[in-house]
Amino acid sequence: MEKKVLVETSARHVHLSQEHIEALFGKGYQLTHKKDLSQPGQFACEERVDLIGPKGTITNVLILGPARPASQVEVSATDARSLGIKAPIRESGDVAGSGACTIAVGDKSVECAEGVIVAKRHIHMTPDDAEKYGLVDKQIVEVKVTSDDRTLTFGDVVVRVNPAFALAMHIDTDESNAALCKPGTMGVIL
């Protein structure tokens, strides 16, 4: 059986703590739900922020809800370079000692001493998916993506198993461009 997985490209985005949401948008503010994402409970927000680093600014960056215990900024390595930030490759939530930046909305801003990462490529799946594919949580796999001019096999792909997940591989825009991914591109777990 070919172990197929939908490959989704994560554009740069931020997850904000409620403290940071209130510092940027006002006391008691709730983010506005715009669109559900593939992972259940996750959503894109109407609100946008600017990311400011020592070398540059990226405007109009997506916020993903709901609020999290700590703010986290996920950028591509290309973005990190243009911002002038050293952002390590990390799994979501593993932000200790990661990159620093300023998050701004209009004239309000918050300083993140850490939280800027380049997301480690990963596959979300349910325990049923994992059993069907013969995989376990935290397993490292390879995924081949076949395209017209940029066929590529990603190594170091982390499998993440949780009943609340939906089956999808997440890569950043650099990785997506390197494999010429398009909406609907499927990968095969080797």
Residues forming contacts to a copy of itself in the complex (CB under 8 A) are 76-78, 89, 120-121, 142, 146, 148-156, 173-175, 177-180
Query: Smallest distance, Å, CB 120 to a copy of itself?
Result: 6
Query: Smallest distance, Å, CB 36 to a copy of itself?
Result: 24
91 touches 98 (CB < 8 A): no
For residues 129 and 91, give the distance between their C-alpha atoms in angstroms, rounded to a whole number.
21
Residue found under tokens 């390590």 = 88
Query: Smallest distance, Å, CB 77 to a copy of itself?
Result: 4
Residues 6+ apart with CB under 8 A from 161: 125, 126, 127, 129, 130, 135, 136, 137
Closer CB to a copy of itself, residue 130 or residue 179? 179
Closer CB to a copy of itself, residue 76 or residue 185? 76
Closer CB to a copy of itself, residue 128 or residue 142? 142
Query: Smallest distance, Å, CB 165 to a copy of itself?
Result: 21
For residues 35 and 116, give the distance between their C-alpha atoms in angstroms, rounded to a whole number.
24
